[in-house]
A and B are shown apart, each in its own frame.
Chain A
Amino acid sequence: MTTLATRPTAYRPPSLLSVYAVRAGVELRTFMREREALVFIFAFPVLLLVIFGAVFGSQDVDGGVTFAQVFVAGMIASGLFTSSFQNLAISIPIERDSGALKRLAGTPMPRSAYFVGKIVLIAVIAAVQQVLLLTVGVLFYGLNLPSEPSRWVTYAWVSVLGVATCTLLGIAATSLVKNGKTAPAVISPIAIVLQFISGVFFVFSDLPSYLQTIASIFPLKWMTQGMRSVFLPDAYQAQEPTGTWEHGRVALVLGIWLVVGLFVAVRTFRWRNKADG
């Protein structure tokens, strides 16, 4: 019992890396033990892929590809978006309501550690989900894995930049959500509408031009376009609004949203529920 009140003379915090590793472990373990969330996050996009693929998959679309190929590319982008943005924007407010964030805020844990834990979690979820979607796409829907290294480079930066941007936007969005109960009602419609207008469920160039214009403001449209540039033949470029893959603009729009997300997240993140003052 005498061990309780002894104190070190100078404050020597535990190494940042060790705290980051602990937080990553907490997030991953918690996620893997929550069966329902696990099934939802991994099975839902695959299920969508299977249903839409079965119904519309064999239809040819302009540009010499099947709808299934366009759709799989869209779902690959969409999976990155939902597993980061939608996941965090809904789960963080629930944690905030439960007092989990308040508890952490009362400890000497560096606050960055909480976000690092989330980022590691999202990275793992996104990676597993990508493997699932790519596997199902290749096996059942005629998705061609690119052979050129340059396309894999595109895949790498679009997915990393896309996940990073959507992760920060998801964290930023938690400030807009009053509490965990209302989070799904606020966030899910945003996510679903964006998926409909950003070239996931429909061929983007088939959408009315005003919807295309609206979608072009948001990141998901640029992520699906980036993924189409990876998985569809170059001939399909003609179907894109400007007739090219627009890699520069994909990077620019995602980059801008990344900065916006980072700024809003850092400035507005709350560790306590509003009802708690």
Chain B
Amino acid sequence: MTDAAIRVTGLRKTYKGHAAVDGVDLEVERGEVFALLGPNGAGKSTTVEILEGYRRRDGGEVSVLGHDPADATAAWKSRIGIVLQRVDDLAQSSELTVREWVGAMAAYYPDPLPPDEAIELVGLRDKRDARASSLSGGQRRRLDVALGIVGRPELLFLDEPTTGFDPEARRQFWGLIESLAEAGTTILLTTHYLDEAEHLADRVAVINAGKIVEIGTPQALGGRANAAATVRWIGPDGPQRVTTDVPTKTVLELAARFDGEVPELVVERPSLEDVYLRMIGSPS
């Protein structure tokens, strides 16, 4: 337990009397991919920025790689990687090439990856000599990740990394994150996309109004695994639907009744989206 990458207890942060983070507890194990889900303004980014050392907390205990991020030292910063939510510096002012960017960033770390290797890992080899301002949105995000990993971080923060991606770019990006996780990097991810959390995360925390609603694996969150299933099919009188705790039995009965194929048979559990929306109190 002492080896947790991140340990947070009773974290509080107040802006002008409003509690943005209101008693958050969470623990991320080393090597884990942990996703923080929540609506805008729920306290995700505030929590992450406190863990990254950007913001001061008003209360609670925080340990990131065994240190308090409030006293961030260069030694500690060299062990984490940060991919910020929105940065326009690559798009706006950068006349530097991909290689120059990654090379400069590598120079700040004690034991960096060779810049070309970091560029290769994020799949930008063909764009190595292109200026950052000429990259597409997805390529720029890959460069953000290259800049975040070139220092060989033990812990990588990814704040809404795929916002604005098309589905193909997101799939590719997920592959990159999976390969980093396989290499042993601990990853804390915030995202709006439930499929992203479901695909990438070992565990998910849902945060709403500054409080953790639940922490669990994406498969078990909100009692999904044991929740009542819905069985749908087309009967002689049109579409039918039954909610049941014993869907297998229902299907067997239907198979007997139809003597074989049940027309348009579907058995479904609540999706992560269903349980998420219920948790944050939104009508689904």
Chain A residues near B (Cβ < 8 Å): 1-8, 11-14, 18-19, 22-23, 25-26, 29-30, 33-34, 94-95, 97-100, 102-103, 105-110, 113, 272, 277
Pair A103/B89 contact, Cβ less than 8 Å: yes
Pair A100/B109 contact, Cβ less than 8 Å: no
**Interface residues of B, dominant DSSP:** loop
Pair B92/A98 contact, Cβ less than 8 Å: yes
- Binary per-residue interface labels of chain B (67-102) against chain A in the complex, 1 for a CB within 8 Å, 0 otherwise: 000000011011110101011110011111000100
Pair A4/B184 contact, Cβ less than 8 Å: yes
Pair B89/A29 contact, Cβ less than 8 Å: no
Pair B179/A102 contact, Cβ less than 8 Å: no
Q: Which of B78, B152, B182 contacts A6 (CB 8 A)?
A: B152
Chain B residues near A (Cβ < 8 Å): 15, 49, 52-55, 74-75, 77-80, 82, 84, 86-89, 92-96, 100, 104-105, 107-111, 113, 117, 121, 131, 147, 149, 151-152, 154, 179-180, 182-185
Q: Which of B84, B152, B184 contacts A103 (CB 8 A)?
A: B84
Pair B55/A277 contact, Cβ less than 8 Å: yes
Supply 11 further A-B pairs (C-beta < 8 A) apart from A26-B96, A29-B100, A30-B94: A3-B113, A4-B183, A5-B185, A8-B111, A19-B108, A22-B104, A33-B131, A103-B82, A106-B82, A108-B77, A277-B55
What 10 A-B pairs come out closest when comparing CB atoms?
Answer: A99-B87, A33-B95, A100-B89, A11-B75, A5-B184, A108-B74, A109-B108, A4-B183, A98-B89, A106-B82
- Given A4-B152, A102-B54, A103-B87, CB of A108 within 8 Å of CB of B93: no
* Chain A residues with CB below 8 A from B89, complex form: 95, 98-100, 103
CB-CB nearest in chain B for A11 = B75
Pair A13/B152 contact, Cβ less than 8 Å: no
A93 to B88, CA, bound (A): 13
Pair B105/A107 contact, Cβ less than 8 Å: yes
* Chain A residues with CB below 8 A from B86, complex form: 99
- Given A14-B107, A272-B54, CB of A107 within 8 Å of CB of B87: no
Q: Which of A12, A30, A102 contacts B87 (CB 8 A)?
A: A102
A22 to B101, CA, bound (A): 11
A255 to B: closest C-beta gap in Å? 32
A97 to B93, CA, bound (A): 11
Pair A4/B110 contact, Cβ less than 8 Å: no
A258 to B116, CA, bound (A): 42
